[in-house]
Amino acid sequence: MVNDNGNDARLNVPELVNAESFTIQDHPTQEPLIGGIWNLPMTLFSSEQVAPGWDTPDRSVWMRRFWRAFGNDMLAAVLATAAAKVQTQNWTMAGPEKLSRYYHTVFRDQADFYRGWGNLMARGVVDYYTQDNGWFIERLRSSPEDLSGPCLGLAHLDSQRMFPSGNAEYPWYYHSAYGQYRLLHRSQVIRIVDLPDAATNLHDSQLGFCALSRTLSTAIIMTLIVTMKREKLSDLPPSALAVFNNISRKQFESAISLHGVQEDNKGNTVWREILPLFGIDPQHPAQIQFISLREVWEGFDDQTAANIAAYSFAAGFRMDPREFWPVSAGPLGTGKEAEIQHQKAKSKSTGLLFTELERKLNSGNTLPEQLLFKFEIQDMEEEAQRAAIHQTQITNIKGMQDAGANLSAEEIRYLLVKQYKVLPRFMMTPPAEGEKIEIGDIAYYDDVERQATKEYSRFGRDVIIHANGQIVKPIGIRRTRLSFKESMGEHLDSMVGSLDQADQDIVKGDSADLRDESTLDSRIEKLSAIPDDVWDLAIELEHEVASAL
């Protein structure tokens, strides 16, 4: 939809003023909701500690309530850690400047109806880890009926309100807070499921087996242990049988009653005095014997139990236990072992989530094809491994040369670029004389192989915008020709060529001497050795000047 000014009217929408008009979701206002948000079918026999079956519809509701239940401290901490990791992960938006700026704002500030990127991620991560149905995001367009226009925003969809339709084109129903069911087109929904079911099912409706499902037994045991400790430490009666010997029920109840009256008279509502019970027959002293119904087994160690739970949660959430629990010693917690686990976990848990998110957001239904959304994940271990592999590959090439392969520079370049991927692609063709490509941020950017097209050129030159708003303008794949005095050189060559051969040789030799004795290298070294702080100050000044202009 290009207007007379050559601008895409939809992309020029400055902000989503009436965000609700773009979505199929209902949001509670001052009007009371019909039935309330929890008015969904419940299994009659579900209880706090017995989860509904994996594929039963009320499991999601139970799960959402369960992880917030008393005693689930460690589970909640794991979830909070996972959410924080995703929320705080820096990302970049790369592409034409105007488009990048627009979608950077859409993602960072306007996402989830102006709640922002952090909110969208936190809600989504909780659904991803606690709901077998997965994480749903709605792509907002100019209207719910617009299925092919540019995506103008993202909003969280409550996983519990999503039901499969069985239709490939419109695979999901959204169950409105007002009780209506609305069909969603596949282009309107992003869904990320943890460990999806392999069984044949309705279109796009495979349930996953979320992290909470994978650690449910551990979580339930932890809630029981915490509950038991609470009972032990508080004045609440423990879950037990009380056997009274040599005292009648009437005597006990009257003693309780009398004690209560006396304490009330004294005004002791919190700190009460000891309840006295008197036996009548000295031969048969009054006794109350407790037979506890909730006991830990012999040899139970609280710390070991907590550690095992931490490892169980870590495995279930594909995380490093050290991220939420201070594992420091023991056969599973030595420094080296924990380090290895940490490195492995980094690429498993949130790494999986980041990859999925990047794919969905860059799929073409969300961002224009010229934009690239990317999480900035730096894995030192992986980079070191890659460097070692590259080293081996370069050594291989050297070995081939030594063995008489006699590879040309072009052939070696081909191996390094195409085969081994040691060099970025744009170095496949060596720069022409007088031209040079700067290898900096662009090396990363070049990886996307998104060529600037005329269609997108009106959105400005390519930039990379970080989540925090920092804009990097790559100096680019753009090749630069320096203004040499080419004509001067050519003319001179013809003049030198007119000399006698002997004179030409003298000029050639003398000029080579002049060049050899040039101090260029030392001056380049001097330039490269300018201290960082001095250079930073100078660059800072350039930024000041640029902003002042």
Partner 1 sequence: MPCNWQAIVDTWEASRPGRMNVRKLVHLAMRMDSYDESLISSNIFKQKRKSYEDTLTALAIQVGCRRGRGVATGSVLSDIKRESNSEATGIVNTYNCGLAHAVNAIYEQNKFGNRHYYAKFLQIWDVKRMEWKSKQISMHNLLGWRNRATQDFIKYNDLTGTTELYPQDTGVNAVCKHWRARGLVSISEVENIMDDWPIHANCPHDWRIFVGKVRDCDSLWLGRDPLYYGARELEIAPKTDVLSIV
What is the C-alpha separation between 308 and 300, in angstroms, rounded?
Answer: 12
- Single out the residue of 150, 149, 139 nearest to residue 112, CA to CA: 139
What tokens does 98 get?
Answer: 């105007």
How many residues of this chain bind partner 1 (CB under 8 A)?
A: 53
Contacts of 365 by beta carbon, 8 Å cutoff, 6+ apart? 139, 151, 187
Cβ atoms within 10 Å, residue 223: 20
Binding segment for partner 1 among 61-69, 122-130, 161-169, 519-527 (CB under 8 A)?
Answer: 519-527
Binding segment for partner 1 among 56-64, 212-220, 244-252, 525-533 (CB under 8 A)?
Answer: 525-533
Element (H, E) at 189: strand 189-192
* Minimum separation from the CB atom of position 94 to partner 1 (A): 17
How many residues make up the chain in this entry? 549
**Sign of the dihedral through C-alpha 181, 182, 186, 187:** negative
What is the C-alpha separation between 368 and 11, in angstroms, rounded?
Answer: 10
3-class SS of residue 163: strand
CA 338 to chain centroid, in Å, comes to: 22
| Residues 153, 104 contacting (CB under 8 angstroms) | no
**Sign of the dihedral through C-alpha 12, 18, 19, 20:** negative
* The one among 454, 528, 533, 547 contacting partner 1 by CB under 8 A: 528
* Minimum separation from the CB atom of position 534 to partner 1 (A): 7
* Minimum separation from the CB atom of position 441 to partner 1 (A): 11
Q: Is 545 in the site for partner 1 (CB under 8 A)?
A: yes
Judged by CB, which is closer to partner 1: 403, or 534?
534
Any idea what DSSP says for residue 8? B
**Sign of the dihedral through C-alpha 460, 461, 467, 471:** negative
* The one among 44, 198, 380, 520 contacting partner 1 by CB under 8 A: 520
Tokens 């031209």, residue? 435
* Minimum separation from the CB atom of position 440 to partner 1 (A): 7
What tokens does 332 get?
Answer: 């599973």
| Residues 413, 427 contacting (CB under 8 angstroms) | yes
Q: Is 73 in the site for partner 1 (CB under 8 A)?
A: no
Per-residue mark of binding to partner 1, 473-512 (x: CB under 8 A): x-x----x-xxxx--xx-xxx-xx-xxx--x--xxx-xxx
What is the C-alpha separation between 34 and 240, in angstroms, rounded?
Answer: 43
* The one among 199, 409, 432, 534 contacting partner 1 by CB under 8 A: 534
* Minimum separation from the CB atom of position 545 to partner 1 (A): 6
Judged by CB, which is closer to partner 1: 4, or 433?
433
Judged by CB, which is closer to partner 1: 261, or 496?
496
Judged by CB, which is closer to partner 1: 200, or 519?
519
* Minimum separation from the CB atom of position 533 to partner 1 (A): 11
What is the C-alpha separation between 44 and 136, in angstroms, rounded?
Answer: 28
Alpha helices in 498-531 (DSSP H): 501-516, 520-528
Judged by CB, which is closer to partner 1: 405, or 439?
439
Measure the CA dihedral 44/49/55/59, to 10°: 70
Judged by CB, which is closer to partner 1: 230, or 481?
481
Judged by CB, which is closer to partner 1: 86, or 437?
437
* Minimum separation from the CB atom of position 413 to partner 1 (A): 18
Q: Is 530 in the site for partner 1 (CB under 8 A)?
A: yes
* The one among 436, 458, 469, 470 contacting partner 1 by CB under 8 A: 436
* Minimum separation from the CB atom of position 370 to partner 1 (A): 22
* The one among 235, 298, 402, 517 contacting partner 1 by CB under 8 A: 517
Q: Is 515 in the site for partner 1 (CB under 8 A)?
A: yes
| Residues 154, 189 contacting (CB under 8 angstroms) | no
Judged by CB, which is closer to partner 1: 235, or 500?
500
* Minimum separation from the CB atom of position 503 to partner 1 (A): 6
**Sign of the dihedral through C-alpha 106, 452, 2, 147:** negative
Judged by CB, which is closer to partner 1: 70, or 484?
484
What tokens does 241 get?
Answer: 């049988």
Per-residue mark of binding to partner 1, 437-476 (x: CB under 8 A): -x-x--------------------------------x-x-
Q: Produce one character per residue of 123-141: b if its CB has 16 or more CB atoms within 10 Å, e if not.
A: bbbbbbbbbbbbbbbbbbb
* Minimum separation from the CB atom of position 414 to partner 1 (A): 23
Q: Is 44 in the site for partner 1 (CB under 8 A)?
A: no
Tokens 């009653």, residue? 257
* Minimum separation from the CB atom of position 527 to partner 1 (A): 4
What is the C-alpha separation between 197 and 203, in angstroms, rounded?
Answer: 12
* Minimum separation from the CB atom of position 480 to partner 1 (A): 6
Q: Is 300 in the site for partner 1 (CB under 8 A)?
A: no
Q: Which residues bind partner 1 (CB under 8 A)?
A: 434, 436, 438, 440, 473, 475, 480, 482-485, 488-489, 491-493, 495-496, 498-500, 503, 506-508, 510-515, 517-520, 523-524, 526-528, 530, 534-535, 537-539, 541-546, 548
